[in-house]
Amino acid sequence: MTTAHPTQRTDARTSLTLAAIVIAAWAALHVAAVWHLDALAHPLLALAALAGLTWLSTGLFIIAHDAMHGAVAPGRPRLNAAIGQLVLWLFAGFSWRKLIVKHMAHHRHAGTDDDPDFGHGGPVGWYLKFVRTYFGLREALFLGGATLLYAVVLGERWPYVAYWSVPSILASMQLFYFGTYLPHMPREAETFPDRHRARSSRMSDPISFLSCFHFGGYHHEHHLYPHVPWWRLPRTRKRGAE
């Protein structure tokens, strides 16, 4: 029987705690916005709730992403898969199996035509390809059915189901722009440092955290050390991967 390294146990506790905080915060704000908020009476609060749910939805996807690399619960693949599927359901009903296969292909073929995340041209066309890659018939049926059921349960508050769908759409744009387009977009005047064909931005750590949970600010580091959880990515540049 192998014993987990102390660093691995500490990372697992931290990653699980942070995942629980993001999920709980999303759930609490979701319930408050969908079931209790009066958006017409409090428009600024309604916008703040939308922004908060968008950012937390981004966090849900980042948790799933870390789970794909075994970074949420190191050494416990079933727990990683369970957490990953849970947050993907909350995010937009995505399939864990489908996403993990495509994401591993992204790491093997980053920035090439064999990369499912890679596109050509400007951000709009690339984003539409990105959506078509991950949003298929299964996702459309799941979201459509779940949205209809949710609207029926809400009754007169049915328009507030938008506080589930709209943040997911906005979060997908945020994840695409900061976590895919900017890091992997070819530039004529700049070559990529290595075969990962990824770059990191030089934004400050607070902005990196707010933009995409460090996956924009430290994207090249993520490709170098995919087992490192999102919250420890800044250390990979400052101290090297542990």
Summarize pLDDT for 50-88 with one digit per residue, the tens.
Answer: 999 999 999 999 999 999 999 999 999 999 999 999 999
230 and 66 Cβ atoms separated by less than 8 Å: yes
Residues 41, 47, 50: CA angle, nearest 5 degrees: 120
User: How confident is the model at residue 5, as a pLDDT?
Assistant: 53
CA distance 162 to 147: 9
User: How confident is the model at residue 134, as a pLDDT?
Assistant: 86
- Ranges of residues in the chain with a pLDDT under 50 are 1-3, 241-242
User: How confident is the model at residue 3, as a pLDDT?
Assistant: 47
Name the pTM for this structure. 0.92
CA distance 46 to 32: 10
Which structure tokens are listed for 15?
A: 């990653």
Count of C-beta atoms within a 10 Å radius of residue 131: 15
Q: Give pLDDT tens digits for 86-112.
A: 999 999 889 999 999 999 999 999 999
DSSP class of 239:
T
User: How confident is the model at residue 11, as a pLDDT?
Assistant: 83
